[in-house]
Amino acid sequence: MIIAIDGPAGSGKSTTAKKVAAQLNLIHLDTGAMYRAVALYILNQDFSESHLKNDSQMIQVLDEIEIKFSNETNNIFLNGKDVSIEIRENRVSEYVSEVSAISLVRERMVLLQREIATGNNVVLEGRDIGTRVFPDADVKVFLNADVNERGLRRFKELVKEGVDISLDEVIRNIESRDLKDSTREHSPLERAKGAIEIDTTKLSIDAQVNEIVSLIQTKN
């Protein structure tokens, strides 16, 4: 069974997907973390803008990247290094939409996501799971929320991690990501055909989880 959960930044996708997977004993695949890992690698290599626009150079970059998840903790490893915390840094958040818009990156990540998920019972979350990666997913959900609420959620996460940043800056960053994600040429953020939209602005994580679990159980 494939469960696709899409939505913009801060809508609660990752936490909700983890809890749904845990409650139903399914595999959780954080596809957003995969794109963040690619963005982190590129940032650390300090490639030029022209480098990213050159297909042959971009293929070489992607060939240098190995992404794996821990079965026990679901931590993500980039070339053997646990980068679960590093990929959440603000510099990665500000850059990941640009990297995600590169068609070669998306093609490689989609192949990897399908490879991991096919034949398994998996909960995947991201921005194009129900539209491109698994358009025939058994259950498709689109989570959304008011941008100020999404900004506040992300701000609290960053403060907890010790990041020195203002709420206004976080909200601006999310608005910028929304625009980039929804207007990019390849696999833009949009609600998949047949997806159930859930507004999470006033919902707790547990309420979101319960609503999605009910949808899944109905399918069964």
Neighbours of 92 (CB within 10 A): 20
Strand order in the sheet with 81-82: 67-69, 76-78, 81-82
- Does residue 185 have a pLDDT over 90? no
The residues, ordered by sequence, that sit 6+ positions from 86 with a Cβ below 8 Å of its Cβ are 40, 92
pLDDT band at 110 (very low <50, low <70, confident <90, very high): very high
Decide if 2 contacts 117 (C-beta within 8 A). Answer: yes
Q: Which domains does the chain have, with CATH numbers?
A: 2-219 (3.40.50.300)
pLDDT at 157: 87
| Cα–Cα distance list, 83 to 53, 71, 92 (Å) | 25, 15, 12
pLDDT per residue as tens digits for the range 31-69: 989 999 999 999 999 887 777 788 898 999 999 999 999
pLDDT band at 152 (very low <50, low <70, confident <90, very high): very high
* pTM, two decimal places: 0.83
- Does residue 130 have a pLDDT over 90? yes
pLDDT at 72: 76
